[in-house]
Structure 1
Amino acid sequence: MARVLVTGSSDGLGLLAARLLAEQGHRVTLHARNDRRRDDAERALPEAEAVVVGDLSSLAETRDVAAQANGLGRYDAVIHNAAVGYQEQRRAQTEDGLAQVFAVNVLSAYLLTALVQRPDRLVYLGSGMHRGGDPDLSDLQWERKRWNGSQAYADSKLLDVVLALAVARRWPQVRSNAVDPGWVPTRMGGRGAPDDLRLGAVTQAWLAAGGSGELTGAYLHHQRRQQPHPAASDERVQEELLARCAQLTGVELPAP
């Protein structure tokens, strides 16, 4: 059985994926943004092994989440599920002066990837909206562009797929994949979302548990491989993203 860390798992798809894994007998660690959300997570999935706590919009708290996770021992898999949505009416800024959508959706996933003891499997949550993302990395913080919450979200989901494929290339011994869970009725997706909520968590749980075998560097929807945005496989874009994330965090992705 596997040990799996799931970020952003006090509710929504993260909690559903964690529940699926726990039902299969895997050992699951949840993640919550704060103590109140930790209590929610513990009530929702009391069989979870542990809950790590920290706001992933903060670089300091993300580092602390990594330290908490490492203190609990090595994981077989990490699901990078945590994200904020696309309905923000203005550019929210974090305590580090970063655009919140980028900080939570992309930079935290990079920093946890770099700092958490390397697992066998990594899963990054993308979105069908990533196909509308812009691979131009020259204004990641939306300092020059006019703010567009939907576009910022699409860009961040594209960069999550870029990150997944970059890690798969950089770390060939780790199976790193990206998942489109579908447009499902979570708090982010809205009650009118047309896709099956439970099905939206199946692929990431399946990948985390090792059901996909040696599959790596793939983008999947409902356990089927799909073609992502062309930029996701562009080594130049991958290397630029890794370099910018390293510059912003002060942490390089470790060597293979």
Structure 2
Amino acid sequence: MTNTLITGANKGLGFAAARRLIAAGHNVWIGARDPERGQAAATALGARFVPLDVTDDASVGGAAELVREKVGRLDVLINNAGINAGGSVPGTDMTFEDFRAVFDVNVFGVVRVTHAFLPLLRASEAPSVINVSSGLGSFHQMTETEWGKWVVPAYSASKSALTMLTIQYANALPGIRFNAVDPGWTPTDTNGNTGPQTVEEGTDAVVRLAAMGVGAPTATFTDRRGTVPW
């Protein structure tokens, strides 16, 4: 059985991905910083809950140790947790603290979690890390399409950094597949629950990659339709 951990999975895209992967036969771990909400989500789905705050080294380390004790390996890590502090405001109005809060979750949180779970990923026959990025972090889409109208400095910058981080991990660790996905404009708390897609459509790329075994691609950036331009 495929052991899969999803961060920030007590709601939104993470919850939907967990539900779909459980239906596909995965043993899913719900990672969430709120124990009550995380356990409630896990119970509702038939998943396992692990307390996990991606901004806290001790919490992340404890989560990795719990998964190691229970199942001994991790086959798929989905770095889904993300925030958008500051909203759509000019960069000059955003403070250093706004940027730091976003990067601490969207970028440094991914580094914390990935580093802590590397030993468990290396114990898998076909390890995969899926980083939930965004089209708002695509230089092409923000300069050549209507997406450029969105002014979300910290969020866009953090997602660009996350996509590049994905490539660097893929280059540095060829034994593990690292891929970035763009869920597309899907209603979540991050965007005020707006967007034309369903959460099923928003999780299509994640579910597709999570289902791939040995020989699957690495260092890609895709959405539900295919390749996303860098």
Task: Tell me which interval the TM-score lies in, with the shorter structure as reference length.
Answer: 0.7 to 0.9
**8 A Cα contact 1:132 1:155, kept in partner:** no
Partner of 1:178: 180
1:141-169 Cα offsets, whole Å, 9 max, x none, are xxxxxxxx921111111111111111111
Counterpart check, 1:127 vs 2:134: yes
Alpha-carbon distance, 1:53 to partner: 0.4
Structure 1: tracts of 5 or more residues without a match: 134-148, 229-256
Distance 2:20 2:41 in 1: 15
Change (3 A) 1:65 1:223: farther
Give the partner amino acid of 1:114: H
Deviation at 1:93, TM superposition (A): 5.1
Please give the per-residue CA displacement for 1:101-135, whole angstroms capped at 9, x wherever unaligned: 111111111121112122511100100110259xx
In the comparison of the two structures, how many residue pairs are matched? 208
Q: Flag the structure with higher helix content.
A: 2
- Matched with 2:52 is 54
**Within the alignment, does 1:106 sit opposite 2:116 as a pair?**
no
CA contact (8 A) 2:188 2:194 kept: no
**Which sections of structure 2, spanning at least 5 residues, go unmatched?**
141-150
Given that 1:7 and 1:31 are in contact with CA atoms closer than 8 Å, whether structure 2 keeps it comes out as: yes
- Answer whether contact 1:20 1:202 (CA < 8 A) is retained: no
* Equivalent position amino acid for 1:131 in 2: S
Pick closer, same or farther for the CA change 1:41–1:4 going to 2, 3 Å. same
Q: Identity of counterpart residues, as a percentage?
A: 31
Contact 1:184 1:190 survives alignment (8 Å): no
Change in CA separation of 1:226 and 1:104 when aligned onto 2, cut-off 3 Å: same
Whether contact under 8 Å (1:9, 1:30) holds in the other structure is: yes
Contact residue 123 and residue 179 of structure 1 kept, 8 A: yes
Shift of 1:39: 2.8
Please tell me whether the aligned partners of residues 7 and 79 of structure 1 are also in contact (alpha carbons under 8 angstroms): yes
Q: C-alpha displacement at 1:210, in angstroms?
A: 1.3
TM-score (norm 2): 0.81
- Partners of 2:111 and 2:49 in 1: CA distance: 20
Whether the aligned pair in 1 keeps the contact of 2:60 and 2:116 (CA below 8 Å) is no
RMSD (CA atoms): 2.4
Check 1:92–1:10 CA distance in 2 against 1; reply closer, same or farther (3 A cut): farther
Q: Secondary structure at 1:181's aligned position in 2? A: coil
Once the two structures are overlaid, the 10-residue window that deviates more, 152-161 or 32-41, is 32-41
Match of 1:158 in 2: 160
Superposition TM-score, scaled by structure 1 size: 0.74
> In 2, are the aligned partners of 1:4 and 1:27 still within 8 Å (CA)?
yes
Matching residue of 2:8 = 8
**Contact 2:131–2:179 at 8 Å: present in 1 too?**
yes
Amino acid at match of 1:221: D
